[in-house]
Amino acid sequence: MTKDGNILKESYILIVGGAGYIGSHANKELSKRGFNTVVFDNLVYGHRSFVKWGDFILGDLNNIEQVRLVFKKYPISAVLHFAAFAYVGESVNKPEKYYLNNVVNTLNLLQVMREFQTKYFIFSSSCAVYGIPEDIPITENYPLNPINPYGRSKLMVENIIEDYSKAYNLKYVSLRYFNAAGADMEAEIGEKHDPETHLIPLVLDAALGNRDSIEIFGTDYATHDGTCIRDYIHVTDLSTAHVLALEYLLQEGRSDIFNLGNGNGSSVKEVIDTAKKVTGKDINVINLKRREGDPARLIGDSAKAGKILGWEPVYKELESIIASALKWMMASDQK
């Protein structure tokens, strides 16, 4: 790995929230590229077993002394920040929890980065900063109008790091991604949330008999089959984008914001039908009324990431995304 042509053999990449779903996949990709990594995670939602690469430190961003200890022990050259609460519904009912963790705790991290003169920062943002779009696909210059505390917390941090960049010379990349899906193609790690709210693992659970049915919230949307359309991006492709964003920062030193999406939308019914095909199982479906705040279509434009970072999704087909998730679920059931 290089920074302005210099070898960084003795430095480390700190992955905050690296025991979680996306963070653990990013840790694997960074390790494959030869980066030294250290994961900092409180394991509230993460899994110790997912930290198969690099070092692990148990700690919480709300304890700034614990954060300082990591920077004292390791020469940190850059930080990847994944440690956010991400349940939209919960954020509406418990906004304080989300602002304390997603915003205040990020300020603790940024404070320690300043103290130790670590100036490279990759932020795990979200398409939730856009709110309900009027035009598709969504580009980075689309109006920012989040409709829930989760999305607002992400936008707050984006604004904070922009201010830090101007005042303190922080160099950052914010990655706004759409629906992370799938699992490591070698089934070493995967998606394991409690509670699980993502469509693909829920559908696969229904196919495998781990749940009785899958619920569709709304079949009367203005889409080709009446169900919501979302942009599913394979988690390994997301991880590759984080590595490219880091290399871009280390080499170019310019801050920027990028969408990360597949560019193709898949409806809820298409996800269910594809899961039936992949598993060879029937799935019991219950049709319910729409949920408040669900846009009919959410599809991202990732052309900017392709042009500047050289990023291109590899696992674009819905079938391969679902097949990787199934492979992980089957492998994890055997352990």
> Of 21, 120, 142, 150, which residue is the catalytic one?
150
Which domain covers residue 27, as residue numbers?
2-178+234-260
Domain for residue 68, yes or no?
Answer: yes
Angle at which helix 235-252 crosses helix 21-32, to 10 degrees, equals 60
E strand segments, 169-228: 171-177, 179-181, 214-217
Residue 79 located in a structural domain: yes
* DSSP class of 300: B
Per-residue model confidence as pLDDT tens for the chain (335 residues): 444 434 355 799 999 999 999 999 999 999 999 999 999 999 999 999 999 999 999 999 999 999 999 999 999 999 999 999 999 989 999 999 999 999 999 999 999 999 999 999 999 999 999 999 888 999 999 999 999 999 999 999 999 999 999 999 999 999 999 999 999 999 999 999 888 889 999 999 999 999 999 999 999 999 999 999 999 999 999 999 999 999 999 999 999 999 999 988 999 999 999 999 999 999 999 999 998 778 889 999 999 999 999 999 999 999 999 999 999 999 886 55
Report the helix count and the strand count for the chain, using DSSP H and E: 11, 15
Please report whether residue 334 resides in a domain: no
Contacts of 158 (CB under 8 A, 6+ apart): 123, 125, 129, 174, 257
Q: Is residue 152 included in any domain, yes or no?
A: yes
Residue 112 lies in a domain: yes
Structural domains counted in the chain: 1
Residue type at 242 in one-letter notation: H
Beta carbons within 8 Å of 280's beta carbon, 6+ residues apart: none
Residue 325 lies in a domain: no
For residue 47, what are its two tokens? Answer: 């899994």
CATH of the domain at 163: 3.40.50.720
Does the annotation count 172 as an active-site position? no
Say if 272 falls within a structural domain.
no
